[in-house]
């Protein structure tokens, strides 16, 4: 009996040890499971812009995971292509949340798709970090508890350009912008900011070409007929190239101040090559001019990793992954509500310095580089630039409260 008792005791000990080891191994396996984030973008339709953005994310992920990941788990992005269609983006978002069990969503460049995903986020109570879409409505008129935005908004960048315009003698202005949310917000913001600084200015012409379907000759001719002192340009991509070419040929820009939202960004300036405009005041990204500091560290790391120069999208992608990692770390959990709460007031160290996701509207204080376009060695660059802090170009808390709907 004693021998059997000893055997039973040994068996129990072995069994409990096996259970303990199995439990420990399971715990290790669970700890190693990646934290998944759903990334939705227009990878085929806007490959020249989404590609560098994706590279920026991947660089940040490599750095984050090399340092142990987040909550001792690797951070993983699931990249999906929405074909530039809002309906497809919503379908993908539903799949990412229900099937892939992502902890949150991020992405998009086009504002109409960003607004669609923001509405989905509010309805389904899913955290969405709008990384690149610039429409002001994302955080104000259509803002909600679950949507946050990283990039300096249309309002912020337009206000920066209006500040520069107000220093000149120009009185009459013409505007040209794509006829969708981003373009409309940009013109409205520039008008508001400039007239506040210079009540004497007058807007004498507004051109609204369809996105990526510009008739540049007709648009340039219409602006020339109005004889403005200055022009505010919001076109980008292929539309920008066509407008610059037609405007230059027709002498539209001669003797006029031109302000270009996004025009100084490498994605848009580099393809123009020696046709790049000279003397425009623009927002952009002078990666080639950084000599030290965190900006230089990022540029060097990016160029070493991808053997290519970074674009503004590269920087935004990198900061997107940084922000998400910081939020999850602050939350101490992958639970959706904890991540949402962690984003409110979140401070993140980035290549452009410390940024904060404001509690009053969920807009990050990432700023923008403002300078003047020039030609160097047959290529367009931005010179005489300065980095403007985003927090200095946002409406007051009272204005935000008036624009933003009640919590959703």
Query: Do 310 and 175 lie in a common domain?
Result: no
User: What's the structural domain count of the chain?
Assistant: 3
Interval 148-205: pLDDT, tens: 999 999 999 999 999 999 999 999 999 999 998 889 999 999 999 999 999 999 999 9
Query: Do 227 and 331 lie in a common domain?
Result: no
Residue 181: what pLDDT?
84
Interval 58-69: pLDDT, tens: 999 999 999 999
Q: Is residue 299 part of a domain?
A: yes
Query: Do 283 and 145 lie in a common domain?
Result: no
Exposed/middle/buried for residue 364 (C-beta within 10 Å: 0-12, 13-18, 19+): buried
Q: Indicate the pTM of the whole model.
A: 0.89
Return the SS3 of 36.
strand
Query: Do 248 and 325 lie in a common domain?
Result: no
CA-nearest of 237, 264, 136, 140 to 189 is 136
Q: CATH number, domain at 211? A: 3.40.50.2300
Query: Do 169 and 260 lie in a common domain?
Result: yes
Return the SS3 of 175.
strand
What residues in the chain have per-residue pLDDT under 50? 1-30, 408
CA-nearest of 156, 163, 59, 142 to 364 is 156
Q: Which residues pair with 347 in a beta bridge?
A: 356
Round to whole Å and give the CA distance between 272 and 240: 9
Round to whole Å and give the CA distance between 383 and 396: 31
Q: Is residue 398 part of a domain?
A: no
Query: Do 95 and 71 lie in a common domain?
Result: yes
Query: Do 178 and 278 lie in a common domain?
Result: yes
Residue 7: what pLDDT?
40
CA-nearest of 264, 258, 202 to 231 is 258
Instruction: List the domain range (segments joined by +) for residue 17.
Output: 1-32
DSSP annotation string for 324-372: HHHHHHHHTS--HHHHHHHHTT-EEEETTEEEEB-TTT-BB---EEEEE
Query: Do 112 and 239 lie in a common domain?
Result: no
Q: Is residue 42 part of a domain?
A: yes
SS3 content of the chain, % helix, strand, coil (to 5): 50, 20, 30
Query: Do 223 and 320 lie in a common domain?
Result: no
Q: Is residue 376 part of a domain?
A: yes
Asked if 240 contacts 261 with a C-beta cutoff of 8 angstroms, the reply is no
Query: Do 26 and 10 lie in a common domain?
Result: yes
Query: Do 40 and 20 lie in a common domain?
Result: no
Q: Is residue 405 part of a domain?
A: no
Residue the block writes with tokens 């809002």: 86
Asked if 120 contacts 93 with a C-beta cutoff of 8 angstroms, the reply is yes
Query: Do 3 and 19 lie in a common domain?
Result: yes
Q: Is residue 402 part of a domain?
A: no
Q: Is residue 401 part of a domain?
A: no
Asked if 56 contacts 302 with a C-beta cutoff of 8 angstroms, the reply is yes
């Amino acid at each position: 009996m004693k021998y059997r008792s000893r055997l039973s005791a040994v068996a129990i000990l072995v069994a409990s040890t096996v259970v303990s080891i199995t439990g420990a191994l399971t715990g290790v396996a669970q700890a190693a499971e990646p934290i998944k984030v759903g990334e939705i973008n227009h990878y085929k339709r806007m490959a020249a812009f989404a590609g560098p953005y994706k590279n920026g994310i991947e660089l940040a992920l490599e750095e984050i995971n090399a340092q142990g990941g987040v909550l001792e788990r690797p951070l993983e992005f699931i990249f999906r292509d929405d074909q530039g269609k809002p309906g497809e983006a919503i379908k993908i978002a539903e799949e990412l949340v229900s099937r892939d069990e992502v902890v949150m969503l991020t992405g998009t460049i086009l504002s109409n798709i960003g607004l669609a995903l923001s509405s989905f986020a509010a309805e389904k109570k899913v955290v969405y970090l709008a990384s690149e879409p610039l429409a002001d409505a994302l955080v104000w008129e259509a803002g909600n508890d679950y949507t946050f935005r990283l990039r300096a908004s249309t309002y912020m960048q337009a206000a920066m350009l209006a500040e520069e315009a107000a220093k000149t003698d120009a009185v009459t202005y013409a505007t040209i912008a794509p006829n969708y949310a981003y373009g409309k917000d940009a013109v409205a913001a520039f008008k508001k900011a400039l007239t506040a600084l210079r009540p004497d200015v007058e807007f004498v012409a507004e051109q609204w070409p369809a996105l990526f379907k510009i008739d540049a000759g007709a648009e340039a001719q219409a602006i020339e007929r109005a004889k403005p002192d200055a022009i505010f340009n919001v076109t980008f991509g292929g539309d920008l190239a066509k407008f610059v070419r037609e405007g230059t040929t027709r002498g539209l820009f001669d003797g006029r101040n031109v302000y270009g939202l996004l025009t100084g960004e490498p994605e848009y300036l580099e393809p123009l090559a020696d046709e790049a405009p000279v003397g425009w005041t623009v927002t952009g990204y002078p990666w080639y001019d950084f000599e030290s500091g965190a900006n230089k560290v990022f540029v060097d790391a990016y160029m070493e990793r991808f053997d290519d120069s970074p674009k503004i999208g590269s920087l935004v992608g990198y900061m997107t992954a940084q922000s998400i990692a910081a939020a999850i770390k602050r939350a101490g959990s992958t639970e959706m509500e904890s991540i949402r709460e962690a984003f409110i007031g979140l401070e993140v160290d980035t290549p452009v310095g410390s940024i904060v996701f404001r509690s009053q509207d969920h807009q990050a204080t990432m700023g923008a580089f403002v300078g003047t376009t020039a030609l160097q060695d047959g290529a367009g660059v931005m010179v005489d630039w300065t980095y403007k802090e985003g927090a200095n170009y946002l409406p007051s808390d009272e204005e935000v409260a008036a624009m933003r709907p009640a919590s959703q």
